[in-house]
Copies of this chain bind each other. A is one copy, B any other.
Amino acid sequence: MAVGLGPLPTLHPVPGFELGIASAGIKRPGRKDVVVMRCAEGSSVAGVFTLNAFCAAPVILSKQRVQGTVRYLLTNTGNANAGTGAPGLAAAERTCAKLAELTGVPAESVLPFSTGVIGEPLPVEKIEGALQAALDNLSENNWAEAATGIMTTDTLPKGASRQFQHDGVTVTVTGISKGAGMIRPNMATMLGYIATDAKVAPKVLKDLMLDGANKSFNRITIDGDTSTNDCCMLIATGKANLPEVTEASGALFEALKKAVFDVCMEVAQAIVRDGEGATKFVTVQVNGGGNHQECLDVGYAVAHSPLIKTALFASDPNWGRILAAVGRAGVPELDVSLIDVYLDNVCIASQGGRSPSYTEAQGSAVMAQEEITIRIELGRGACSETIWTTDLSHEYVKINAEYRT
List residues of A whose CB falls within 8 A of some B CB: 51-55, 80, 82-88, 117-119, 181-182, 184, 186, 223-228, 304-307, 310-311, 313-314, 316, 318-321, 323-328, 331, 334, 336, 349, 351-354, 392-394, 396-398, 400-405
Which residue on B lies nearest to A118, using beta carbons? B320
Please give, as numbers and ranges, the residues of chain B lying within 8 Å of A182 by CB-CB distance: 307, 321, 324
Which residue on B lies nearest to A52, using beta carbons? B327
Q: Enumerate 9 A-B pairs (CB-CB under 8 Å) in ascending A order.
A: A53-B327, A53-B331, A54-B324, A85-B353, A119-B354, A226-B327, A228-B320, A318-B404, A394-B394
A353-B85, A394-B398 in contact; A336/B306 too (CB < 8 A)? no
Please give, as numbers and ranges, the residues of chain B lying within 8 Å of A316 by CB-CB distance: 401, 403-405
In the complex, the answer to whether A83 meets B53 with C-beta atoms within 8 Å is: no
A182-B324, A225-B324, A336-B54 in contact; A397/B310 too (CB < 8 A)? yes
Please give, as numbers and ranges, the residues of chain B lying within 8 Å of A349 by CB-CB distance: 83, 119
Please give, as numbers and ranges, the residues of chain B lying within 8 Å of A314 by CB-CB distance: 400-402, 405
In the complex, the answer to whether A52 meets B328 with C-beta atoms within 8 Å is: yes
Which residue on B lies nearest to A314, using beta carbons? B401
The complex places the Cα of A334 from the Cα of B327 at a distance, in Å, of 31
In the complex, the answer to whether A321 meets B351 with C-beta atoms within 8 Å is: no
In the complex, the answer to whether A320 meets B117 with C-beta atoms within 8 Å is: yes
Please give, as numbers and ranges, the residues of chain B lying within 8 Å of A186 by CB-CB distance: 328
In the complex, the answer to whether A353 meets B323 with C-beta atoms within 8 Å is: no
Excluding A53-B328, A54-B324, A118-B318, 14 further A-B contacts by CB distance (< 8 Å) are A53-B327, A53-B334, A118-B320, A119-B320, A119-B349, A182-B307, A182-B321, A223-B305, A225-B305, A226-B324, A316-B401, A316-B405, A318-B403, A397-B397
The complex places the Cα of A331 from the Cα of B311 at a distance, in Å, of 32
Number of this chain's copies in the complex = 2
Please give, as numbers and ranges, the residues of chain B lying within 8 Å of A318 by CB-CB distance: 118, 403-404
A305-B225, A354-B83, A354-B84 in contact; A55/B327 too (CB < 8 A)? yes
Which residue on B lies nearest to A186, using beta carbons? B328
In the complex, the answer to whether A53 meets B336 with C-beta atoms within 8 Å is: yes
Which residue on B lies nearest to A88, using beta carbons? B353
Please give, as numbers and ranges, the residues of chain B lying within 8 Å of A228 by CB-CB distance: 320, 323-324, 327
The complex places the Cα of A85 from the Cα of B392 at a distance, in Å, of 29
Please give, as numbers and ranges, the residues of chain B lying within 8 Å of A334 by CB-CB distance: 53
Please give, as numbers and ranges, the residues of chain B lying within 8 Å of A84 by CB-CB distance: 353-354
Q: Which of B225, B226, B404 contacts A306 (CB 8 A)?
A: B225
Which residue on B lies nearest to A324, using beta carbons? B228
Q: Which of B88, B324, B326, B354 contacts A227 (CB 8 A)?
A: B324
Question: Max chain B CB contacts within 10 Å: which of A55, A86, A307, A392?
Answer: A307
In the complex, the answer to whether B224 meets A304 with C-beta atoms within 8 Å is: yes
